[in-house]
Every structure is written in structure tokens, then in C-alpha cells.
Amino acid sequence: MEGREFTVVGKKLPRIDALAKVTGEGRFISDIQLPGMLYGKVLRSPLAHAKILDLDISNAEKLPGVKAVVTAKDSPRKTFCIYPNLANNLILQDTKVRYVGDQVAAVAAIDENIAEEALDLIKVEYQELPAVFDPEEAIKSSAPRIHEEENNVAAYIKRQFGNIEDGFARSDVIVEGRFKSPSVAHCCMEPRGCVASFDLSGKLTIWSTTQTPHSLRQELAEVLDIPINRVRVMSAYVGGAFGSRMFMDPIDAIASLLSRKSGKPVRIVNTREEEFISSRTRYPMIIELKTGAKKNGKCVVRQAKVITDNGAYNNLGSSVTGNACSKLCQLYSVPNIKFDGFVVYTNNVYGGACRGYGNPQITFAMETQMDEIAVKLGMDPAEIRLINANRPNTITVSGCEITSCGLTECIEETIDRSGWKMKKSKKRKNCGIGMAVVMHGGSGGKFYWGDNCHISSAIVKMNNDGTVDVLTGSKEIGQGSDTVLAQIAAEELGVLLEDINILSGDTDATPPCGGAWGSRQTFTAGIAVKSAAADVRRQLLSIATDMLEARIDDLEAKNGMISIKDYPEKAVPISTVASVSYTHLGTPIIGKSINNDPWSSTPDPVTGFGNVSSAYSFGVQVAEVEVDTDTGIVRPVKITCAYDLGRAINPLLAKGQVVGGTLSMGLGYALTENLVRKKGKVQNISFLDYKILTALDICDIECVFVETNDGRGPFGAKGIGEPAMIPTAAAISNAIYDAIGVRVKELPITPERILKALKEKS
Amino acid sequence: MNQFKGKAKILAGGTDLLVQMKRGKIAPEYLINIKNISDLDRIEYDVNRGLTIGSLALIADLQESYTIRDRFPILHGALSQLGTQQVRNIATIGGNLCNASPAAETAPALIALGASAKIVGHGGEKVVKLEDFFVEPGKTVLKIGQILIEIQIPNVSPDCKGIYLKHALRRKLETAIVGVAVSLSTDFEYGPVKEANIVLGAAAPIPKRALKAEQLAKGKKIDQHLLNEIASVASEESSPITDVRATAEYRREMVKVLVKRAFTELIKI
Ligand SMILES: Cc1cc2nc3c(=O)[nH]c(=O)nc-3n(C[C@H](O)[C@H](O)[C@H](O)COP(=O)(O)OP(=O)(O)OC[C@H]3O[C@@H](n4cnc5c(N)ncnc54)[C@H](O)[C@@H]3O)c2cc1C
């Protein structure tokens, strides 16, 4: 589609906020200091399951320096969840607590120490209730009930496509296994936080580490019971989110309540301990998977039973489980599928979105079994993936329409670049190489019913000196979306990158947008920005037709000039045209665009059929490891990746996603990360014992992009954020098998699990 | 210190103490900063008396000492594996020992070197062997009013070699799952072992010598079979716990692995 030479897109440009970040000028939540601002602290439940018999805040209120104490009584007691029919969580609990860390009350004081002291003065009388932490226990009819529901099954997702009996009957090999994945934390560099400030008119202004400002605006309006236009979510730098800051956290609402009650701005920032205790986690899943394939390697049937630990409240458990099912159908386009997903309440903290949204869990299972099938058939694991690879312009049984797809090229690239064939044939002792593939939505999709979620819109204004303002409701959270969107606007308008001023996230100033989730912003917000910029360009060209005495179709805008295509010397600066639009014509140029993602559809709630995303991204990772069979330590040696991201609008930023996703989140998920709980209480609440890998533990990475130039994406681009981390665990696991002949089917693959597997083998 | 009757804590580098206070594990009413006591950070070597280290000597300074690197490589190895550069820049060796963590990095190496601790305060001055210094996790023989002022390390005979191995998940910034220090003296490369010190960290409530294993090695020419036995005995002598970092079973297994590796590094088997 876009065959032309680009001037801004596709270039390795430094991020536009680089200077602000490296100099410390960029303001994060903890840097925001408003006059009279108070410090909020939340009283959290020490028990995993208990009735609240009595809650006495009188002593806390009397402590000098305390300006407000809030409990559920100060809130409209509205349950919240992005799926309104599933809502059963409250911003403050007053009848029951359901996990260690549940919010009971909160304090705002003139400093943090006083606020903490005041928390100690709040008296809560609990009646402890029996609790359950293992979803396989919780699902039993004898288990303690966590909500006033018939049982602890929060949702049951049943999907059936094709005919699995037939599929298994026609299979030459069948493999079966049980896979377990842990609860892990996102470990954002900046803890979750917000500054909330109600003014006298009753309008709330809030700075938050959210990744979805427009959704947060709506959610706050609902739980606080005020009109949407009484809430303004401001823009601030955000130090990472990875899904954890998708949608409202109770502290956003609690800080707002405290501000309303005290009449002062209130800042709440989680401690690192609170991040580990009460922040969203990746949903742990137990996956029983059975896969069948023909002798020629073609995978023909998959059956999965999944038990998801939903935690104490509904958030995204059923959606994430549903997405795991989507991937079960989509990857390798398997024709016969059965999926039974049980989303089960436990007295653990409730999960949320986490880079990959159910896909890392199911990919670990699916891609391990692809390897097992290859072994059984005596095939090269790379070969079997080439045989099964998704192809462009195909439709899966679940109704997902794959348009651009470079999976085959990705596999071939990694085979070449990693030296796969040589390494597979000449084995070194305890060293191994393994491959895993990912298919993921590259454009967000229609997952949510909240009004703003799948929309992106943009406004582009041309100033009279030729500079440009881009207003987008998208959210920069460190991934570089402001830079990418500015590049898209500059390319479309034919101006320089430095002529673009971008404002994102401020909900009073920017038009609605679902925000940063589902690897969607480059695609979805990118389309909106590109179309709004195209609108501006058309208006500019139309004014220039008179000035250059040419037809609009003969004009082009490039490098700040509008010229006649074949006579570049006949040109007029864009700034001159812009100035004319203001001063002579009195019609400043403003472009707008709304992208409601017309190609995707919400999957049918009963059958799950539908094209959930407008574009799909693909990738391959080849991992090489060395295993110490005495200690069980696995050292990653190198990872070679290839990704089909349509087009890399900014190859530097795209590579940043892959490097971070693979070497930090991916390797951590594979090897070390795990929230260890004892009776629901997290035991590793600091980075000493919650092991994210350090720069010394990670390995070399080589990354190449396969640009398939997607027909819908802006300049052909699709998302890369999530795909970056999804296949790593499976690739590492397969490499471990190659090295030492054992498969560990529970993440993380710890030294103890390796030794145990080795023992069982011998 | 006496006047505060146990309500006070000594503050050296604070890299253990302040973390514990922040966590709410301890809440001393008074902190006594000893960092201004002059001369407590000295590192002195004497051919006759050996090495003397003031308790306030920084881990980083010790790590950079050529004397330690060349004459006491086992200690140098332990120091280099403690924390990160930032931590080593403020952490003291006295703090590492007095904090009495079973996983404290310097303890196994120092015990293997036959080090002693000089204690001052309440009731004068005395010197105890470092292997008798620890009582239980978080507790040493120090009584209220006493401080550790010096660590004394005798000279090492030229036929003695030692190594400290730390086992952990990450390469750096880790608490040892198990640490093992071994020092051996032999007359020549393949000769029998004259003296053996095997000290285990994070494998018992306190840093602990594996005396039976040492006994087994003494006077013998070590072959693979004997080494396996030494390692198993050392493992039996350990009494590790299960915690968030590892199970007791795994720790016991790692004692075996590390003892074997240490011997193999030091002598030809
Ligand atoms: C990020 C990080 C990483 C770490 N990594 C490691 C590691 O890899 N290995 C390791 O072993 N440790 C590690 N530690 C722990 C710590 O840094 C060391 O134990 C350090 O040597 C403690 O020394 P300090 O001077 O900071 O002690 P402090 O915290 O000042 O004191 C520790 C304790 O000893 C007492 N004390 C100190 N000096 C004396 C004295 N002279 N007489 C009597 N009592 C005294 C104090 O009252 C306190 O109870 C780490 C710590 C951090 C924060």
C-alpha cells in the first residue's frame, strides 16, 4: 500500500521525551507537589477472608495532622468492573475482606508518617472466615464461599469449533499434559500512584499512573457518582504499566474521596510492598492440554481445560481466559477445538491485564506440545512450525480474519540467524536450542464493553506558522507512543518531527481513546492520528491549489513544503499556506478523526465466534541455554527473534519493546518470577526475593523485523508490545529439553524443578 | 550503651539495620553511630601477626586491598560476591558479622581462615574464635555494651589454598541459597590433604564448620569416591531451612555440589 519513500516513518529516531527523562525534568506522580497537598495511606486487610464486625476511625481522626479518614461510608458503595455485569468489587470494603491487602479505610494527613501512624489508630474488628487459595480446591463444592454465589466459579467459558472427536480420531500422534503458570507482578519501575484534587465546584482533577485515561475518567465518574465532565484525568509521565494500570485501581478513587472530604489535593503512591501485595498480577492458570497431529506434522485438534485463579474479585479473569481460548484457535489455525475455562474465585489478590493477556500462559502449553509432537514424529521442531504456520488472508475456525502474516518468513529468519540447523545437529553437552512462536492481536480489539475501550480519535491543528498540535487520548507509559504518533503525523503532513507538539492523555483536552492496552496504540491511535493529519493535509493542499495554480491531485506535502509532484521547484512552504489559512481566509485548519476499529467485532458471547482484532502480529523466538545439571541453574545464552510488526514506525522503539519484553519479562516469567504466598500473604515483597533478572543475568539478543506492510495499519504498522514477551518461556523450555531431555511444565522453571525432573527421568 | 539498656543499636553502614527498621522488624529507640570512631576502619598486615581488620572497614575497601587479594584470596572472593558496588561502598565487615545472618557472605571465608573476633566493652577486652561468635540467626555472643572492634586473621601457610563458592539464582544482588568456603593445605598438587576447613553458609542457623567432613579429608589423598563421601557428610552436617528462596532439601543437595566443586577447584582429583 505504502510503496513510497518515507522521511520520518521507519527512521531510528530518539524518543521525543528523551531529554525530559534523562535530565529528570519529566514529572512523575511522586514529583507532583500541589499547594496544601496531603499524603494518603490505605489501611489494608491483614486477613485473607474475614467479616468486618466493627470499624472505628475516631482515634485516627483525632490525631493531629490528620485531615480526613474515609471508609466505605464516604463512598456511594458502587461496585466496579469494566464488565458492569460482573462487578463485585468496592473501592473500600465494609462488610467483608477477601484477600490480604483488601482496602478497608484510608487516611490523608500532612505527611506520610502521620498518615501511617493514623492507620495504626484505626480499629477493625474482624471475624476470620475459612479461606481458600488454590483454585482447584476453591472449585470444589465443599470450599468456603467467597461471594454470595452458588459456588466459587466466577465464570465458565465453553467454546467448541469443528469436531474434536473426529480430530483426535484422525490424529496420528496425540500429546497430553498439564501446565501451570504462576502469579507474577508487573514490577513497573514507578509504583502505582495518583494525585487527586477536587475544587470547590466539585470538579475532580487527577494525575494518575493510568494507562487508560479516558476509561479511568468514566470509571471514576461512576464510582464517585458524578458526571463524566466533572472528572479530568491529567497527563503525567508514567514509569511503566504493562497492563497493571489498565482501568481503575481503588487508590485512584480513594484519593479522590480523601480530597473531597479534606478539601485538599491528596497524593497516594504505593510502596513497593503494596505493589507486590495489592497491585494487579498476571492470572495464574492451570492448563490441561491435549493436541493431535497428522503424520505430516499438521496439527488438527486441540482440547483444553483451563482453571484460572480469578482472585478475590472480578476484574479481567474471564476476558483473559477467553483470550487464551482465542489463541488456542488462532495459532496454527487449528480446525477442531474444545475449550472449557473455569474462572475461579480464591482469597488471593485479583489479577489484571499483564502483557500478553492469557497468551503467555497458553502459548507455553501449546508451544511445548508442538515440540513434543515434533519429537514423536522425528521432525525438526522448526520444520513442524513451518508446516503449521498461519498464512496471510485466511480465516480461523473461530472467525478470526488474518490479513497480513509473515510467520513463515519469521521462522525462516530465525533458523538462518540463530544457526539452528548446525546447532541442532552438533550438540554440546547440557546446551540446547529451542523455538517458540507467537500470534497475538496487533491492534487491540473489541474485548470490552466500556464505551471508550476500542475507540481511538485524534484532533490535529495546524498553527499559523506551520507547526502542528496533535491531540490524542492515547497514553504514553514509557513505550514511546507519543514519539510514534508524532512520527505518523509528521509523515502524513509532510512536516518535520520537531514541528509536532503532541498532547496525549489529558481527558479535558483530548478526544476519546481506549488508551494503551492490547498492543493497540500504534495501530488504532495511529490510524486516528494519520487520518486526522490527512484531513489537515487535504485542507492545506486545497488552499495551495490557488497559490500554485495546480490541481489538488498534483500536489504533495513533504519536508515542510507543498509542491507540484513533477515540478518540485514550484513550491510553497507549508507555513505560508498555514498563515494564509488564518490571516487571509480566517479558517484555521483543524482535522479530526475517529477510528472505531471497523474491521473487528466483539466475539459472540455464547459461541466466541468473531474477528476480535483488526490485525494480528506474529513472531518467533529461538532461545539457546546452558543448564547446570548439578545445581539446576539455567543460563540463557542467546535469543534470536524475528517479528512481523507490519512496519516498524520507529525501529529503535520497536527493538526496545522486544529487548525489554524478552530479556526482562519473558526470561523472568520463564525462570525466576513468582509471587510466593503463604495463606494468601505474599512472602517475597521486595526485589531481594521477588527475582527479576538483572543486567548480569540476561543474554545476547538479536532481533529482526519482517515488515509485511499491513493493509489497514498506519503506514502498514501493527502492534509489537505484547508479542515481545509471549513466546520466551516456551522457547526457553524447549531449549532446556534440547539440552537435558526433560520438560518442566510449571513456570517458573526453577533449579529445584529442573533437578526434580532430572531425578524422575533417571 | 549500658545506659540505654538494650534499647539501643549500633549503627555501622546501616545496610542491614536500616532495612530491618524500615520493615518494622526492629524498632530501637536509640542508634549509636560508631562510624566516627577513628582507626576502626584499618586494614593492617604484619608478616608475623597476620591480617588485622577494623570492624568498620568497608567491604569495598577490603575488596580492593591487594594484600587480601594476593594473600587471602578466599576472603577476596567472598567480599566480591557481597551485594553490589553501591552496597559494598557503605557496608562494613563488622556489620556483616554482627548482623549474624546465616547467609552472611564473609563469615564462612573468615572461619575457614581461622579468624578471631576482638570484642571490647563491658568487662574489658577479649578475643573469641569467629566460629564461636555466632549463636543463632541474628544473635552473636556480644552482650549489651559490647562491640566488635577487630577481626584478626592469622597468616596463611604457603601450601594452603582456599575458595568461597556462593550459590544463588541471579549472578549478583543475591542472598546466598548456600555458601561454602573450603581451605585445604597440601604438600604438592597430588599430595594428601594436611589440613581441611569446610565452612557452610545459609545451611544451618549459623555459619557452620562441617567438622566430620573435614576429619574425613584430613591426611588423605582425595579421589572422586572419597570426595563424594566428604560432600555427603558435609551435607548431613548441615541443617538448613525451607524458605522463600529454596527448600531445605535443595540446600542440602547444594552443599554437596559446592563442596565437591570447591575441592575440585583447589586440588587435582
Ligand atoms: C541491596 C543489598 C544487598 C546485600 N547483599 C548482601 C550479600 O550479597 N551478602 C551479604 O552477606 N550481605 C548482603 N547485604 C547485607 C549487608 O549489606 C551486609 O550484611 C553488610 O556487611 C552489613 O554491614 P553494615 O555496616 O551496613 O551493618 P549495619 O546495618 O550498620 O549493622 C548490622 C548489624 O550489626 C550491628 N553492628 C554493626 N557493627 C557492629 C559492631 N562493630 N559491633 C557490634 N554490633 C555491630 C548493628 O547493630 C546491626 O544489628 C545486602 C544488603 C543490601 C541492602
Residue with cell 482447584: A136
Does residue A46 have a pLDDT over 80? Answer: yes
With a pLDDT cut of 70, the percent of chain B lying above it is 99
Does residue A446 have a pLDDT over 90? Answer: no
Q: Which protein residue's CA is at the shortest distance from atom 27 of ligand 1? A: B95
Instruction: Indicate the residue type of A143.
Output: A
Q: Which protein residue's CA is at the shortest distance from atom 37 of ligand 1? A: B95
For chain A, positions 649-678, list CB contacts with chain B under 8 A: 672, 676
Domain boundaries, chain A: 18-26+455-595, 32-129+189-241+245-278, 357-444+615-761
The rounded distance, in Å, linking the Cα atoms of B225 and B266 is 17
- What's the average model confidence in pLDDT over B106-131? 95
The rounded distance, in Å, linking the Cα atoms of B132 and B126 is 13
Among A514, A502, A493, smallest CA distance to A446 is for A514
CB A154 within 8 A of CB A310: yes
- Per-residue model confidence as pLDDT tens digits over A156-200: 999 999 999 999 999 999 999 999 999 999 999 999 999 999 999
The rounded distance, in Å, linking the Cα atoms of B159 and A324 is 63
Q: Tell me, what DSSP letter sits at residue A478? A: S
The rounded distance, in Å, linking the Cα atoms of A202 and B119 is 66
Phi, psi angles (nearest 5°) of residue A616: -125, 135
- Per-residue model confidence as pLDDT tens digits over A490-501: 999 999 999 999
Among A80, A153, A449, A455, smallest CA distance to A317 is for A153
Q: From the CA of B26, how far away is ligand 1's center (Å)?
A: 14
pLDDT band at A2 (very low <50, low <70, confident <90, very high): very low
- CATH number for A18-26+455-595: choose from 3.30.1360.200, 1.10.10.60, 3.30.365.10, 3.40.190.290: 3.30.365.10
Among A508, A510, A509, A500, smallest CA distance to A533 is for A500
Query: Would you state the pLDDT for residue A447?
Result: 80
Instruction: Say whether A694 and B172 touch across the interface (CB within 8 A).
Output: yes
Mutation pick from A120, A271, A276, A631 vs chain B, by most beta carbons of B within 10 Å, is A631
Query: Would you state the pLDDT for residue A52?
Result: 98
Query: Would you state the pLDDT for residue A605?
Result: 86
The terminus-to-terminus CA distance of chain B in angstroms comes to: 52
Query: Would you state the pLDDT for residue A451?
Result: 60
Distances A78 to A81, A88, A224, A233 between C-alpha atoms, Å: 10, 9, 8, 20
Number of residues that make up chain A: 762
Distances B211 to A8, B218, B230, B238, B255 between C-alpha atoms, Å: 71, 11, 10, 11, 14
DSSP secondary structure string, A404-438?
S--HHHHHHHHHHHHTHHHHHHSPPTTEEEEEEEE
CB A321 within 8 A of CB A309: no
Among A378, A329, A402, smallest CA distance to A167 is for A329
Among A466, A473, A537, smallest CA distance to A500 is for A466
The rounded distance, in Å, linking the Cα atoms of B95 and B98 is 5
- Per-residue model confidence as pLDDT tens digits over A274-324: 999 999 999 999 999 999 999 999 999 999 999 999 999 999 999 999 999
- What's the average model confidence in pLDDT over A321-338? 97
Mutation pick from A276, A630, A682 vs chain B, by most beta carbons of B within 10 Å, is A630
Across the interface, of B171, B172, B254, the residue whose CB is closest to A631 is B254
The rounded distance, in Å, linking the Cα atoms of B54 and A14 is 50
- Per-residue model confidence as pLDDT tens digits over A540-569: 999 999 999 999 999 999 999 999 998 989
CB A657 within 8 A of CB A721: yes
Burial class (CB in 10 A: 0-12, 13-18, 19+), B172: middle
B260, closest residue in chain A (CA to CA): A630
Instruction: Say whether B250 and A696 touch across the interface (CB within 8 A).
Output: no
- Please determine whether the domains at A32-129+189-241+245-278 and A357-444+615-761 fall in the same fold group of CATH: no
The rounded distance, in Å, linking the Cα atoms of A750 and A231 is 46
Query: Would you state the pLDDT for residue A3?
Result: 53
Degrees to nearest 5, angle at CA B252 with B153 and A180: 130
CB A562 within 8 A of CB A540: yes
Across the interface, of A630, A691, A755, the residue whose CB is closest to B170 is A691
pLDDT band at B269 (very low <50, low <70, confident <90, very high): confident
Name chain B contacts of A672, Cβ cutoff 8 Å: 169-170
pLDDT band at A449 (very low <50, low <70, confident <90, very high): low
Does residue A25 have a pLDDT over 70? Answer: yes
The rounded distance, in Å, linking the Cα atoms of A277 and A103 is 11
Phi, psi angles (nearest 5°) of residue A81: -175, 145
Does residue A261 have a pLDDT over 50? Answer: yes
Distances B81 to A577, A696, B131 between C-alpha atoms, Å: 66, 13, 21
The rounded distance, in Å, linking the Cα atoms of A639 and A623 is 4
Across the interface, of B170, B175, B254, the residue whose CB is closest to A697 is B170
Q: Indicate whether residue B99 lines ligand 1 (CB < 6 A).
A: yes
Residue with cell 484505626: A122
- What's the average model confidence in pLDDT over A520-539? 97
- Cell numbers of B59, please? 567491604
Architecture (CATH level 2) of domain A32-129+189-241+245-278 = Alpha-Beta Complex (3.90)
With a pLDDT cut of 70, the percent of chain A lying above it is 99
Does residue A1 have a pLDDT over 90? Answer: no
The rounded distance, in Å, linking the Cα atoms of B156 and B113 is 8
CB A11 within 8 A of CB A491: no
The rounded distance, in Å, linking the Cα atoms of A431 and B185 is 35
Query: Would you state the pLDDT for residue A15?
Result: 96
- What's the average model confidence in pLDDT over A741-755? 98
Name chain A contacts of B15, Cβ cutoff 8 Å: none
DSSP secondary structure string, A292-344?
EE-TTS-EEEEEEEEEEEEESS-SSHHHHHHHHHHHHHHTTT-SEEEEEEEEE
Does residue B262 have a pLDDT over 70? Answer: yes
Helices marked H in A70-187: 112-121, 135-138, 164-169
Q: Tell me, what DSSP letter sits at residue A666? A: I
For A357-444+615-761, which CATH class? alpha beta
Beta-sheet strand order (sheet of B50-54): B43-46, B50-54, B146-153, B116-121, B124-129
- Cell numbers of A422, please? 548446525
Q: Which residues touch A170 (CB under 8 Å, ≥6 apart)?
A: A292, A294, A300, A301
pLDDT band at B268 (very low <50, low <70, confident <90, very high): confident
- Cell numbers of B30, please? 536509640
Q: Is the peptide bond before A748 cis (omega within 30 degrees of 0)?
A: yes
CB A541 within 8 A of CB A500: no
- Give the B-side interface with A, CB within 8 Å: 167, 169-173, 175, 244-247, 250, 253-254, 257, 261
**Count of pairs with CB atoms under 8 A, one residue in A, one in B:** 36
SS3 A193: strand
Among A103, A105, A128, A126, smallest CA distance to A53 is for A126
Name chain A contacts of B257, Cβ cutoff 8 Å: 630-631
Does residue A112 have a pLDDT over 70? Answer: yes
Helix (H) or strand (E) holding B75: helix B73-80
Instruction: Say whether A693 and B170 touch across the interface (CB within 8 A).
Output: yes
- Cell numbers of B104, please? 552472611
CB A304 within 8 A of CB A69: no
**Mean model confidence pLDDT for chain A:** 96
With a pLDDT cut of 90, the percent of chain A lying above it is 96
